[in-house]
């Protein structure tokens, strides 16, 4: 696998929305709004599919590009890598022309599977262990994957900082970065660090695409990353800072429960476009081009 170069390309463009079964999927089947440039699914929720669901999914995936954001790869787990699952993901990617597969820089299994994302210890040993597992996944898929900076609520080790750990894994695994703007904000409050400083220390050349989402304020100094509420202004401001610092990258609105009607979600997708257009317009003006 070749190394990343300075000429950055993205698997998708614009602003996206996560696909969820139920009323949201039914609404999208009536017509995908033009503001939605791409969609995202968790492969675990669609593998395997019966013929009826497969046909419904195919009808949507033929209209806009799709990306995958996994839930159970458990890349930092002490348990062996589930290669059978990785091969299933590979088949899913090929069958539906999935543009990229992203996952969480965390783990969720050992002798059994847990329904939570646990933090990997921030140690040099864990960097090497995790990076080797990412490389194995990339070898099976025959393509580079993207790893997401995750929200966490307790650090199992502090040999290095979160940003040092994330950057070390990305560099050693030579993988992409799936940047989650809300997770940066959540962690900055819960662990009392500068969100903008963390953001700007990430390797912008590795960004594949981003998530933006809402959260729940448990207490003044504790935020829970729920993906169950509207995006708040400080998170929008951090996305604005990211575009200003790195340039515009594809960004998806993530909503997992308390899902409002499609027209409400589309307004947040359109807000992403507003921030993107701000910097794309500035670039056109600076270069003297028009379009």
Query: What are the residue boundaries of the structural domains of the chain, listed by start?
Result: 15-287
Band of residue 190 on the pLDDT scale cut at 50, 70, 90: confident
pLDDT surpasses 90 at 266: yes
User: How far is residue 107's CA from residue 77's CA, in Å, rounded to a whole number?
Assistant: 5
Of 249, 268, 144, 236, which is closest to residue 202 (Cα–Cα)?
A: 249
Residue 127 CA neighbour count, 13 Å, CB half = 19
Average pLDDT, the chain: 89
CATH architecture of 15-287: Alpha-Beta Barrel (3.20)
From residue 18, how far is each of 36, 154, 221 by CA, in Å?
A: 10, 28, 29
- What does the pLDDT look like over 57-103, one tens digit per residue? 999 999 999 999 999 899 989 899 999 999 999 999 999 999 999 99
Residue that wins the pLDDT comparison between 199 and 23: 199
Mean pLDDT (whole number) for 18-39? 95
């Amino acid at each position: 696998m070749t190394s990343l170069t300075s000429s950055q390309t993205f698997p998708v463009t614009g602003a996206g929305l996560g696909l969820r079964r139920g009323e949201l999927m039914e609404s999208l089947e009536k017509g995908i709004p033009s503001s939605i440039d791409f969609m995202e699914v968790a492969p675990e929720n669609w593998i395997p599919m019966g013929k009826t669901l497969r046909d419904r999914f195919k009808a949507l995936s033929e209209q806009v590009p799709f990306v995958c954001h996994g839930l159970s790869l458990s890349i930092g787990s002490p348990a062996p890598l589930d290669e059978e699952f990785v091969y299933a993901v590979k088949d899913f990617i090929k069958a539906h022309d999935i543009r990229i597969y992203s996952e969480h820089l965390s783990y969720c299994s050992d002798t059994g599977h847990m329904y939570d994302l646990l933090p990997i210890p921030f140690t040099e040993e864990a960097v090497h262990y995790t990076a080797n597992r990412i490389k194995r996944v990339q070898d099976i898929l025959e393509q580079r994957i993207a790893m997401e900076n995750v929200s966490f609520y307790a650090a199992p080790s502090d040999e290095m900082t979160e940003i040092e750990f994330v950057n070390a894994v990305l560099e050693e695994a030579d993988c992409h970065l799936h940047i989650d703007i809300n997770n940066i904000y959540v962690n900055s409050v819960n662990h009392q660090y500068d969100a903008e400083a963390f953001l700007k220390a990430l390797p912008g050349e590795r960004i594949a695409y981003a998530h933006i989402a809402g959260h729940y304020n448990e207490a003044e100094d504790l935020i829970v990353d729920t993906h169950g509420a509207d995006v708040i202004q400080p998170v929008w401001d951090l996305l604005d800072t990211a575009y200003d610092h790195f340039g515009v990258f594809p960004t998806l609105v993530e909503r997992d429960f308390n899902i409002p009607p499609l027209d409400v979600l589309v307004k947040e997708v359109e807000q992403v476009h507003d921030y993107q257009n701000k910097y794309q317009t500035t670039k056109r003006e600076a270069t003297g081009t028009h379009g």
